């Protein structure tokens, strides 16, 4: 069992401490060290790490603190985070492979991939943080995935990282979805200007439930079917993406600007 926990991201000591607190709740870090016959400094270090990951709970403070494990269900979140981390490593591997191929040929480079589920979506959206043009074109419709707590937390972190890198977002959203977005992502939608974001509402005639992001030579499409299952289609091609940018800019110029909420209230 310890080995399984280690495979999803815990150290050997963290695994031992978590299982010990699950079987022996309401114990101090010193109690855990004594039960496991582990030196106190290692036990305290493992307890602090588990606490930061939300895998254990604390009652009291300092020397009087006692600890218990969180529900084992939270381990699923740890697994999903590990899975996303592995997907991110796959990005670097794919980029490395592409660079090797480009060294051998000057031919046109075209890359197309299909990912499924929320992990695939977060993987591809993370790639946009390396945007060289510093402008991301986005058309977004809210879907069931927008309600996923892990996805909401991911988007909030992504937005803050985007601000640090000075990347702007030009986002098209139907009026009804824009209102829903403010409710779901309230921490990053209260002031669009603060997060380097411009929003426009497209004409009512433009009624399409697919979402997409375009930057540099990359375009990703979030495509839903009638049963709300979705795929993430990624296209990396200088010429195809140039066409998509032109189509997007045409739509942008025929859409209605949305003011940040702070401007509306002034």
Look up the pTM and report it: 0.58
Bridging pattern class, strands 66-69 and 56-59: antiparallel
Q: Which of 145, 209, 225 is CA-nearest to residue 172?
A: 209
Q: Which of 217, 213, 218 is CA-nearest to residue 197?
A: 213
Tell me, rounded to whole angstroms, the distance of Cα 236 from its chain centroid.
Answer: 21
Domains, the chain, with CATH or none: 2-70 (1.10.10.10), 76-264 (3.30.870.10)
pLDDT of residue 266: 43
**Tens digits of per-residue pLDDT, 144-158?**
787 888 888 888 889
pLDDT of residue 104: 60
Residues of the chain with pLDDT under 70: 1-3, 62, 101-107, 176-184, 187, 189-190, 260-266
Q: Is 34 left (phi over 0), alpha (psi -120 to 50) or beta?
A: alpha
Q: How far apart are the first and last CA of the chain?
A: 58
């Amino acid at each position: 069992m310890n080995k399984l926990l280690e495979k999803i991201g815990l150290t050997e000591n963290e695994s031992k401490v978590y299982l010990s607190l699950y079987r022996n709740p309401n114990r101090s870090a010193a109690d855990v060290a004594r039960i496991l016959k582990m030196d106190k400094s290692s036990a305290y270090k493992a307890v602090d790490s588990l606490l930061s990951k939300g895998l254990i709970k604390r009652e009291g403070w300092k020397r009087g603190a006692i600890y218990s494990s969180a529900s084992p269900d939270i381990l699923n979140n740890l697994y999903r985070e590990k899975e996303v981390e592995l997907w991110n490593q796959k990005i670097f591997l794919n980029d490395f492979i592409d660079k090797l191929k480009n060294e051998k040929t000057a031919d046109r480079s075209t890359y197309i991939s299909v990912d499924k589920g929320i992990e695939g979506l977060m993987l591809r959206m993370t790639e946009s943080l390396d945007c060289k043009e510093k402008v991301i074109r986005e058309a977004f419709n809210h879907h069931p995935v927008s309600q996923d707590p892990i996805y909401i937390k991911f988007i909030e972190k992504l937005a803050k990282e985007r601000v640090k890198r000075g990347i702007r977002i030009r986002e098209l959203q139907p009026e009804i979805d824009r209102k829903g977005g403010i409710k779901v992502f309230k921490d990053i939608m209260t002031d669009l200007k603060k997060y380097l974001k411009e929003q426009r509402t497209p004409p009512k005639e433009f009624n399409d439930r697919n979402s997409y992001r375009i930057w540099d030579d990359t375009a990703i499409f979030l495509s839903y079917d009638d049963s709300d299952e979705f795929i993430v289609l990624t296209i990396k091609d200088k010429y195809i993406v140039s066409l998509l940018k032109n189509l997007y800019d045409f739509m942008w110029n025929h859409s209605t600007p949305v003011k940040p909420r702070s401007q509306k209230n002034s």
